[in-house]
Amino acid sequence: MSFTQLLFEETRYTWEKEKIHPFIAGIGNSTLPLKMFRYYMRQDYVFLIDFCRTISLAVVKANKLEDMGWFAKLLNETINTEMSLHVNFSKEFNISEEELKNTEPSPTTHAYTNHLIQTAFTGGVGEIASSILPCSWGYSEIGRMLSYSSPSIGQPLYSQWVEMYSSDEFRQLADWLITFIDNVALTSGKVEIDLMKKAFVLSTKYEYMFWDAAYKMETWQI
């Protein structure tokens, strides 16, 4: 069993809960209130900025030119494609770019992005890759799941979202990360393996919490 398969088995319960979360289910059956998705879109914009910062440090810390190229490709796809689509898509929800830029991170978004940035600054490239994999892998799995189980989503805006994350291009980037992490694990000692595992497990928990925060439209209590 590969290292990433072991990581998945260890976090399987969280992954399964994520897939049946009412926010995800609501996209699939078109019952999710638009106000919750608008909240999610704004928080996701904030998240993606620090996600890009995290990837940029993986480019710097990668040991091989080929790996630098792949992380650079992931960064380009995220910052120039996904975020551009995000801004344009948000307009369909009557969310202006200015509104996106002025969004205050929720407690969960703040905690999740701090985890990613801290990992990026202090960890090795395997640890960084492990911290971003749950997001990349999870979105690809959710997008594909919804495209299969709900091929005719009644809400056109949700259909566009599913189409983006179920794409072959998005899946290929997630698959590359999986292969990269498995290869790093083959030549890593116990300390690095434990750090990679810790980063993956924590990000997996934050992925679930991110959906849950959007469903609850989480705010700062003080």
**Closest Cα to residue 92, out of 24, 164, 158?**
158
Query: Is residue 207 flagged as an active site residue?
Result: yes
Tell me the two tokens of residue 136: 């990349």
Q: What is the DSSP letter of 104?
A: P
Residues 31-61: pLDDT tens digits?
A: 999 999 999 999 999 999 999 999 999 999 9
Pick the catalytic residue from 18, 82, 127, 135.
135
Asked if 141 is an active-site residue, the reply is: no
- State the catalytic residue, choosing from 9, 169, 207, 218: 207
Helix ranges restricted to H, the chain? 3-10, 12-19, 22-28, 34-61, 65-76, 83-91, 97-101, 107-122, 125-149, 156-165, 168-186, 190-216
Residue ranges and CATH numbers for the domains of the chain are 3-216 (1.20.910.10)
Instruction: Tell me the pLDDT tens digit for each residue of 88-131.
Output: 888 888 888 889 989 999 999 999 999 999 999 999 999 999 99
pLDDT exceeds 90 at position 14: yes
d(CA 151, CA 118): 39
